[in-house]
Amino acid sequence: MPVLKDFSFDLDPSQVPNRWSDRLSRLNDRPDWRGMWEAALAEARDLIRPAVCYGVCEVTGSDGGRLFLAGGRAIESAVAARLFAGAPEVVLTIFTIGPLLEERVAEHEAAGGHLEGFVLDLMGSLAVNQVGQVAWTAIEELAASKGVKASIPLNPGTSHWPLSGNGLLVELIPAADIGVEVLESGLLRPFKSISYAVALGKDVLTPDQGSSCDYCDTRHLCRL
């Protein structure tokens, strides 16, 4: 099962104001904030330890509420059961930026530097999403090598797939090799880590045809 570490990726801070423009528009007008932003970018680049792990699992069936995998395990999501049931395989993936950035955020906050911690934390959120692009590229290349397509990703922690689903991913792919564990709550640690499942098949719902947000019951509450 592949593990990717210490690879390069783009960390473009201009992407963050586009996503959180309501909270960060002042960065364009305040030189002191811009300086803080640039300092956080430099600090983040020293703290990020990107890593990805993934593995391919055979799909053996569905009962409408669960997607069954080889070995008797199941993804406990009715959406995954519906969207992925016709695919022969799914890829389970976890990616992370490591623990150092969130530890530094905690240090800022403990010292009263809440604003510095907030901006650095945003850098971490951007970074983990950029690492996710590296993971997605690897999955697309894997799909192409098999002559199939990669579906939209579905994540534990959504309205149709509880966080407890992370336990399945940690068991089936080498999360420990990239320093990721699952807590009793179902959260991954380091917290700047993300997991998802992607179906591989000739007739799957691809990102140009839809989005995982289409299947989230709380999408009307999400500003992103």
Question: Averaged over 141-170, what is the pLDDT?
Answer: 95
To the question of pTM greater than 0.75 for the whole model, the response is: yes
Closest residue by Cα to residue 47 from 89, 96, 114, 111: 96
Closest of 182, 162, 195 to residue 65, by C-alpha:
162
pLDDT per residue as tens digits for the range 25-49 = 555 566 677 788 888 889 999 999 9
Which residues fall within 8 angstroms of residue 71, CB to CB, at 6 or more apart?
A: 57
143-153 pLDDT, tens digit per residue, is 999 999 999 99
Other Cβ atoms within 10 Å of 65 Cβ, number: 14
Q: What is the CATH number of the domain that holds 139?
A: 3.40.109.40
The band of 24, judged by pLDDT with boundaries at 50, 70 and 90, is low
- Alpha-carbon gap, residue 154 to 135, rounded angstroms: 14
The parent domain of residue 122 ranges over 3-221
> What is the tally of structural domains in the chain?
1
